Chain A
Amino acid sequence: MSIYFFPWESHHLLVSPWHFQLVLLIGALLGSVITWVRKK
C-alpha cells in the first residue's frame, strides 16, 4: 500500500484536495441516511 494512500494524508491533500472533499461528501451522505431514518 502506498504511503500516500489515504485521501487525508498531507501530501495527498496538497496534490489533489478534491479526493478528501469527495470522501467527506460520501461520509456526509452516509451519515444523512441515519438522520433521515431516525428523525422521520
Chain B
Amino acid sequence: MNMNRVQISKYELFSLIILFQWGTTIIFGFGANAGRDAWIASLISTGIGTLLILLYVLIYRLGGDRTLAEWFTYAFGKWLGAPLSWLYPLVFIYNGARIISDIRFLLPVTIMNRTPDWVIGITFLAVVVYAMSGGIEVLARIAAFTLPFLLLAIVLEMILLGASRSLHYVNLLPIVGEGWGRIWETVWPLGIMQTYGESIEFALIWGYVSQKKGLAATASFATLFAGFFIALLGLLTIAGMGEAVFQQMMYPAFALLKLSKIRFIDNLDALGIVYLVINAFIKLSMHLYAASLCIQQLTAAKKIRPVIFVVAALALLLSLTMVVSFTEHLQVAMVAVPYHLWLPLYLVLPMIVLAVLPLRNWIAGRKL
C-alpha cells in the first residue's frame, strides 16, 4: 500500500501506544487476583509484554514491512492466509464493543446517573467516528497532545495522596507473602494478552511512521513506560486501601482518588473520569481504526471512510447485545476471552508466522 502521504512522528506513535496500553486498565485496576502483589504482576507482565511487542516488530521487519493484514497471505498464500487475516478485524471490532460497554456502564454509575447507557454509548461512538474520519494523523495528534496532561494529573495525584497521608505502605507487606502462584495466574495469559497482546494492532500503522529506524526502540520504550505507570498506580491503590478493598472494588482508581483530602482539594474522582474518557477514546479509536484499516486492505477498498461507518455500526450492535450482567462482562475478560480469542490470535498465530517467514523469504529470494 502507498502510505507515503500520511505520516506520524515517533513521539506521536509513542503517545498512542502509551494511551492505548493504559486503556481502561488504569481505571479497573490491574490484577486484582494477585492481591497486594498486583504491582509485581504488572511489572512482570510489562517485561514479557515488551518481548511480545518486539516479536511483532520482528515479524513486521521480516515480512518486508508488510502490515498485519498482509502477514498471513504472504506467509501462507491467499487461500489460507485470507481467512486467518479476516479473524483480526472481527476480534478488533469485538474488543471495541467491549470498550463501548465499559463506558456505557461506568459513566451512569459515576457521573451521569440519569442518562440512559445507550445514549452514552452512541454519543461516545459518534465522537470516535468523527475523529477516525480525520485519519490516523488526527488520532496520533490527539494522543500526543493529551499525554502530557495525563502525566501531569498522575503526578499531581501522587503528590496530593502523599501530602494527605492516605498511603500506608504496610499494606504492601509481606511482599509475595502468598507465593508466586497468584502472581503468575494474573500475568498469564490475561496480564500479557489484554494490555500488550492487543498492541498487535499497531502492526497496521507502523507503515505510517515517518522514521522507520528505531521503531522497535520506540515501541518497547513506550510499553515499558506505560507498564511502569500501571504498576505504580496499582501500588498506590493497594497502599491507600489495603488488599481486601482493592480486590473487592470494581473501580479502585476512583476510590483511590477520593482518598486525597487537603483542605478544599478533595473529590478528585472527576480526574478519574478524565483518565477514563481520554484512554477509552484512544483505545476505542485504535480498535476500530485498526479493524477498518485491516478490512480496507483485505477488500482493496479505495476509501476508508465507508469502512469506518460499517465497523462502528457493527461495534455498536455488538456492544448493545453483549452485556446482560456487568459482573459477567468483567468475568469474560478474565476467564474466557484471554484463552479462547487473544491467546491464539495474539501469540500462537504470530509465532507460526515467525517460524514460516524465513522459509517464505528464502523461497521468494530463489524466485528472483
Chain A interfacial positions (CB closer than 8 Å to B): 3-6, 8-11, 13-14, 17-18, 20-21, 24-25, 27-29, 31-32, 34-36, 38-39
From B31-39, B77-85, B267-275, give the one contacting chain A. Answer: B77-85
Contact partner of A28 among B86, B97, B335, CB < 8 A?
B86
B interface size (C-beta, 8 A): 33
B318 partner residues in chain A, CB cutoff 8 A: 8
Indicate whether A24 sits within 8 Å of B91 (C-beta atoms), given known contacts A35-B78, A39-B78. Answer: yes
A10 touches B328 (CB 8 A): yes
A25 partner residues in chain B, CB cutoff 8 A: 83, 87
Indicate whether A14 sits within 8 Å of B332 (C-beta atoms), given known contacts A3-B324, A9-B322, A9-B324. Answer: yes
A28 touches B332 (CB 8 A): no
Q: In whole Å, how far is A30's beta carbon from the nearest beta carbon of chain B?
A: 8
Which of A20, A36, A38 has its CB near the most chain B CB atoms (within 10 A)?
A20
Contact partner of A17 among B84, B321, B340, CB < 8 A?
B340
Binary CB contact string for chain B from 26 to 62 against chain A (1 if under 8 A, 0 otherwise): 0000000000000000000000000000000000000
A10 touches B329 (CB 8 A): yes
Contact partner of A13 among B85, B91, B299, B337, CB < 8 A?
B337
A21 touches B340 (CB 8 A): yes
- Specify the main secondary structure of chain B where it touches its partner: helix
Contact partner of B298 among A4, A8, A9, A31, CB < 8 A?
A31
B82 touches A9 (CB 8 A): no
Query: Does residue B147 face the partner (Cβ distance < 8 Å to A)?
Result: no
Binary CB contact string for chain B from 290 to 304 against chain A (1 if under 8 A, 0 otherwise): 000001001110000
A29's nearest neighbour on chain B, judged by CB, is B83
Complex CA distance for A18 and B82, rounded to whole angstroms: 21
Complex CA distance for A10 and B322, rounded to whole angstroms: 6
A14 touches B335 (CB 8 A): yes
B322 partner residues in chain A, CB cutoff 8 A: 6, 8-10
A32 touches B83 (CB 8 A): yes
A11's nearest neighbour on chain B, judged by CB, is B328
A34 partner residues in chain B, CB cutoff 8 A: 298-299
Complex CA distance for A23 and B118, rounded to whole angstroms: 25
Binary CB contact string for chain B from 84 to 99 against chain A (1 if under 8 A, 0 otherwise): 1111011100100100
Interface residues of B in 304-327 (CB under 8 A from A): 318, 321-325
Contact partner of A32 among B82, B91, B325, CB < 8 A?
B82
A24 partner residues in chain B, CB cutoff 8 A: 87, 90-91, 341
A35 touches B299 (CB 8 A): yes
B298 touches A10 (CB 8 A): no
B86 touches A10 (CB 8 A): no
B300's nearest neighbour on chain A, judged by CB, is A38
Indicate whether A17 sits within 8 Å of B300 (C-beta atoms), given known contacts A11-B328, A24-B90. Answer: no
Q: In whole Å, how far is B349's beta carbon from the nearest beta carbon of chain A?
A: 12
Query: Does residue B173 face the partner (Cβ distance < 8 Å to A)?
Result: no
A8 touches B321 (CB 8 A): yes
A18 partner residues in chain B, CB cutoff 8 A: 340
B86 touches A17 (CB 8 A): no
A28 touches B83 (CB 8 A): yes
A17 partner residues in chain B, CB cutoff 8 A: 336, 339-340
